[in-house]
Structure 1
């Protein structure tokens, strides 16, 4: 259910963003909106756990979904009038809403499943969620199938996104609250009790105090949304005509679905110890970073901002799917989609492997979404300032590579084959009685 909410809201948002510039020819407006969005997201991502635990999952998700509708509405209005103030408000408001929605989603995804199911939970979620981006990419593809110039998408495209995003916000109201969830083995999901701003701040501090090594994952968090701007604006939005941008976006998110399923299930292979799987995942991800981004460097050298700008280079013709050589860059873009799913799955799985506690998981996710969004705010601002494509590319490759090296001590020293309940509850206000099933011998007589 949470995946389908994300299918309708952030999934459609990704489809819109995948066209480059929010569907507009010039990405500057979308860059400025997204800078405001991710700046607000960075703050509310840290405190999203308070709202999730206080309001409940369904109300937090529903409220979060509304922000996506307003964002799409502002882009539609901007096609016909200059409404910069409304656009910046919509970006900021979506940042607040998205911070709450993604904290609720992340907390559920890494605290609901048992230890041996966390990879496949991600696979199912990421597949359904990205199917939203796939369906969303079909909308502009169908409506702009004959548009062989690089132009803004039609009004009907924006209207379709607005309607679907609103449906997603309403769908969230059909969910039950996390406190009512009982796993098949009878155990309950651990939730933080009576949260407040103060207790949330203390919780963030206690999370660092309990596991200071988690700080070494922060560069992976920071990098996890950094590459979207380069891929969507500097490749797809800059170099292709409207219908090919839509096709590229469709293939990108289809690749994510395939990769999420394969990667998620590989992370849960029961015949291999979890500590070994963690090391293997880190190693494979490093190899993919070198290979895929190495191929990306070969492509990036072929153009600059000036050569793909029709005002500066009147002879520039956007690449169409019928253009010679398109197949090569098409596969590069597909592999970028595969890489994105593998990166996100690995980060979530690493966090889930560190703890089974819902409270601590909410804090991990808060750090993840907050730091991730800070990175996205920075790179959107750099793109709005017209940083060269070469520098954007180098920043991606360097950040991703270094972050894997920095994370290595966490993977090698802190991810164990099993996290004991006693260790999970250390430093929290929960007791073993909160997590044992009814009728368990150790639960009897426990307050």
Structure 2
């Protein structure tokens, strides 16, 4: 019988929250142009979103550690509903200011939500279950993209032109995102969660904000985080290309919605298979990390080579294609887009898995997750801006592909340093941090009774 305080139940709840918030956002954004004919509006909103996400991500770990995951995810989730409402407003008023401003607010909210999510997903399971929990989360989360994609398909199926989605689409997303924010309030605080091996979740609390922020900025001195920056940057860079170039730039509205459905369904396939491999007991943890990275390299390089062949058939300057799913030759394009989705899930799962292999401490993993989302979002902001200014489609593809290629040798260096267990390292590090914190407090004439 499942315990409500078990890591599995808590990760499932987080998965459902993300299904309703970023999952629905992905379904909306994945249509291309957030369902608008003019993709510049969504591109500018995404620039604001990811810029603020990048800034907020640096501080989100400290905020989540102070407020706790429940409040953090509730605050973050509410900003998704605001963004959907802004697009409903744009459908009538056609003023960019509200969508762009709400995109900026969403950036800060998403930083809180994803940092809290990352800390829970990586720190609650035992080491032998981290790949399974990451895969499970990714499956539930991407069901949001799948189910959310059914909304524009059902409401816009007869829209065979390249127009924008109707009001009902945005209203449905707004309601579901609001439910996700409310569901966040059902999460337990970390100290009430007990792992499957009977051990409590490790949380080190600092008595002052400055101590949290000091630990965040120390991440820039952690060679492992620094060398993973290319992977973090590349991990969301390709969304502007996938959604606005391939999907919105080539297909009509119902086909964009249909493609979007299968893009997120492909993520479930990728997360399920790759997450299971990263936990296989047949190999040591270091071997899983190295072999998994090699599999990922082959998959991504082959897919983007196919993408290059397709991209050479159309440019930004061409007349709008409005290609339909019933047109001849759609099958090959569908397979390519499906593979883009699989690759995305595998790449993101590996990024989380390798961070989770470095420590089991929830507080440290909250900072890692915040750092990851900050760097990832900085890359996203740049990529959406590159698309918004009318960069040639082929150039966008080559930039995406080059960043992915550069990330692999850097990530391989960290994979080579993976240890079979992080428990001993965490014990030593926690002891040093507690000792340092106590020394600082004693010098200030106070006793730190909150450090554990």
Structure 1 length normalisation: TM-score? 0.92
Q: Distance in 1 between matches of 2:338 and 2:371?
A: 29
RMSD: 1.5
Q: Distance in 1 between matches of 2:160 and 2:291?
A: 44
Structure 2 CA distance for partners of 1:336 and 1:159, relative to 1, 3 Å: same
Alignment of 1:33-432 (within 5 A): 33-194=45-206, 196-209=208-221, 211-309=222-320, 317-412=321-416, 414-419=417-422, 420=424, 421-425=426-430, 427-429=432-434
Structure 2 CA distance for partners of 1:202 and 1:79, relative to 1, 3 Å: same
Q: Counterpart in 2 of 1:17?
A: 29
Q: How far did residue 140 of structure 1 move?
A: 0.4
Structure 2 CA distance for partners of 1:105 and 1:195, relative to 1, 3 Å: farther
Q: List per-residue Cα deviations over 1:290-340 (Å, max 9, x = no partner).
A: 10000000000000011144xxxxxxx411111110000000000000000
Q: Structure 1: 5+ residue runs without aligned partners?
A: 310-316, 432-446
Q: How far did residue 83 of structure 1 move?
A: 2.9
Q: Distance in 2 between matches of 1:392 and 1:177?
A: 43
Contact 2:65/2:366 (8 A) holds in 1: no
Q: How far did residue 186 of structure 1 move?
A: 2.2
Contact 2:206/2:212 (8 A) holds in 1: no
Q: Structure 2: 5+ residue runs without aligned partners?
A: 1-12, 437-451
Mean Cα displacement is larger for which, 158-167 or 51-60? 51-60
Contact 1:267/1:281 (8 A) holds in 2: yes
Q: Distance in 2 between matches of 1:301 and 1:196?
A: 55
Contact 1:48/1:366 (8 A) holds in 2: yes
Partner of 1:224, secondary structure, is helix
Q: Distance in 2 between matches of 1:430 and 1:74?
A: 49
Contact 1:64/1:94 (8 A) holds in 2: yes
Contact 1:111/1:357 (8 A) holds in 2: yes
Q: How far did residue 127 of structure 1 move?
A: 0.4
Q: How far did residue 424 of structure 1 move?
A: 4.6
Q: Counterpart in 1 of 2:440?
A: none
Contact 2:274/2:346 (8 A) holds in 1: yes
Q: Counterpart in 2 of 1:438?
A: none
Q: List per-residue Cα deviations over 1:257-308 (Å, max 9, x = no partner).
A: 0110111010000121000011101111111121000000000000001114
Q: How far did residue 430 of structure 1 move?
A: 8.3
Q: Counterpart in 2 of 1:2?
A: 14
Q: How far did residue 218 of structure 1 move?
A: 0.7
